[in-house]
């Protein structure tokens, strides 16, 4: 049986995920600007964009932040021009990729939910091994 251990990617891949998260923090503000064109409550969009950008940059609840950003980008996609729609469709795919891959090793998520090691004792009573000293 193959053992599966989920790891947050480190090294070059982890740095690339950090760079992607930082780039999508800027996309959050661009999306807020696009959505504020159709609404009166622009401050709400920019506050939400700032929160999503902060979560993405530090890597806290990254999958949820990427999901929320993907939904916002999809909403902006519906009100954009055809050229902007192509760019925003790519951003929706990028948000989905971050959501599926996770934050990477350089994030708070990796510190909170990183690789855990579980050590099992070889001679536990549950496995039927005799106790030492009993009947010696």
Q: Shortest CA distance to 30 belongs to which of 64, 93, 80?
A: 80
Q: Which residues of the chain have pLDDT under 70?
A: 1-9, 114-136
The whole-angstrom separation of Cα 65 and Cα 119 is: 34
The whole-angstrom separation of Cα 115 and Cα 5 is: 8
pTM, two decimal places: 0.73
Residue-level pLDDT at 107: 84
- Residue labelled with tokens 């790519």: 90
Q: Shortest CA distance to 7 belongs to which of 98, 94, 100, 113?
A: 113
Residue-level pLDDT at 23: 93
The whole-angstrom separation of Cα 106 and Cα 77 is: 30
Give strand ranges (E) for the chain: none
- Please give the angle made by the CA atoms of 111, 113 and 114, to the nearest 5 degrees: 65
Question: Is 2 in a helix, a strand, or coil?
Answer: coil
């Amino acid at each position: 049986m193959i053992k599966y251990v989920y790891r947050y990617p480190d090294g070059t891949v982890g740095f690339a995920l950090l760079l992607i998260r930082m780039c999508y923090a800027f996309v959050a503000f661009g999306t807020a600007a696009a959505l504020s064109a159709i609404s009166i409550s622009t401050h709400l969009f920019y506050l939400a964009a700032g929160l999503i950008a902060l979560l993405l940059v530090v890597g806290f609840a990254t999958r949820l932040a990427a999901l929320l950003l993907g939904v916002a980008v999809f909403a902006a996609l519906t009100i954009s021009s055809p050229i902007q729609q192509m760019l925003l469709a790519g951003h929706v795919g990028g948000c989905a990729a971050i959501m599926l891959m996770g934050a990477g090793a350089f994030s708070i998520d990796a510190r909170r939910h990183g690789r855990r090691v579980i050590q099992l004792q070889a001679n536990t009573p549950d496995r039927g091994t005799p106790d030492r000293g009993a009947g010696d």
